[in-house]
Structure 1
């Protein structure tokens, strides 16, 4: 049996002002959303996460055969727009996609993703990461390897998912930057969805917590495979994560060295920059200035 040729495609939405499905925004609503998303302290914080967490883990992948899209809005202001565009030069696998703002997110991504499909391949493997997420350096390579065992399930409907259940939560707050182990099912940064190229849909058509409802899935707990951010600007609510997750034993001799080898990130540099700029990132410096 011939091994299928797999295209691996990742997607990150970066501060894109779009509308949720089923909700129609007025022009005033969109302007208000832009004001929130494009606040300078917020964009600086999200750029800090993008440059120090997401980009390094992609740049250290042991299998370089992948493409990663960063979707931004067409009115993202400088200097942040230029800084994001400059990232393309630092990572050959990166493509910045500029889209008109105010579109339905799922509809927009369903139009964007087919533009980057490689129809010379048999299977497309899609994953999604936020700018405060990271994946282990062998995420791409291990997913290709494990797909071989998924093929009998994939063959039935041309779709299957791989769910990495172990990883870490990286939290940042007034007390600093902290790492804790977590084991959880169907979290977006720990998931890869394989589809037959001819019938493939956008990954965003499948809500990640209900992937098991739409396709066969395999859970993999052997090694930590993701980092998920937890901070003041999270869209996802993590305060009650303990009810749906567990921790696992994790006590490396040198945490910074482990995170560097495992995820390609410089933990000390991240901690130092967070400490130096946390008031600005959290909007506290701006609030204090306005109050004076």
Structure 2
């Protein structure tokens, strides 16, 4: 029987767990107060609705499943709003979860999608405040198939997309700039492995994935738009080449690969 690869992504949207944000807050109630605060929810929905979700709904290849994990304690008004946003896309699944350990919830997210007759899973990760280019899934699936044929046996392999754009959201004027990173980002990084492989791309810090897996870095096209704002979980440090493109060139690339223009990001 020929091998078949199933493409599955997991995204966190305000997941409540004692092992995430624990370095900042010393109780689950304090974490919840931060996650579900009106100001944070407004920011998260603003970016999700205007940047993240449109990039997923407009994928040229819809052959993927995405699980959006959220807390079962997410206030009803926010859960209903999120569910309504995802309703037009049957391949994007909202999964309210409890307060188990962070990584266990992520594992459950990937495992909640039936692989059918697939022999391998191509598991990607994406944050709820970052976007991918319109051909991301098409390119990811092609790379996954090619790398699977390249390696003898079942060698778990990471695929990273290290070229794209950042948007620094500020009180004044946003900054939009190009980047080509030298280590895997969180945005769109994927792990190709047999269906029974127990780990996923959240298992290790994304910057260190090449220490644990054969890693393929694709910089042929800009693949990500990563946002920098006051509620980033970690410091979005750039590790590589940045600020090499002029605004007009950035605008051209954004229109071609993301279907938006620079003004859209400047007003985000």
Same structural fold, with TM-score higher than 0.5 when normalized by the shorter chain? yes
Match for residue 259 of structure 1 among 245, 254, 260: 254
Deviation at 1:108, TM superposition (A): 1.7
- Distance of 1:168 and 1:24 partners within structure 2: 29
How many equivalent residue pairs?
266
Where structure 1 has 5 or more consecutive residues not aligned to the other structure, the ranges are 275-292
- Distance of 2:265 and 2:16 partners within structure 1: 27
CA contact under 8 A between 1:57 and 1:265: conserved in structure 2?
no
Q: Which residue of 1 aligns with 2:113?
A: 116
Structure 1 or 2, whichever has the larger Rg, is 1
Runs (4 or more) in structure 1 with deviation over 3 Å come to 23-26, 152-158, 251-258, 264-272
Q: Return 108-117 or 174-183, whichever deviates more.
A: 108-117
- The 5 Å alignment of 1:30-49 reads 30-49=28-47
Match for residue 169 of structure 1 among 161, 166, 170: 166
Deviation at 1:260, TM superposition (A): 4.1
Q: Which residue of 2 aligns with 1:287?
A: none
TM-score, normalised via structure 2 length: 0.89
Deviation at 1:267, TM superposition (A): 5.4
Deviation at 1:30, TM superposition (A): 0.8
Match for residue 224 of structure 1 among 201, 204, 222: 222
- Distance of 1:200 and 1:264 partners within structure 2: 36
TM-score, normalised via structure 1 length: 0.82
SS in 2 for 1:180: strand
SS in 2 for 1:145: helix
- Distance of 1:24 and 1:258 partners within structure 2: 38
Match for residue 187 of structure 1 among 185, 188, 192: 185
**Which structure dedicates a bigger proportion of its chain to helix?**
1
CA contact under 8 A between 1:165 and 1:190: conserved in structure 2?
no
Aligned-CA RMSD value: 2.6
- Distance of 1:263 and 1:92 partners within structure 2: 22
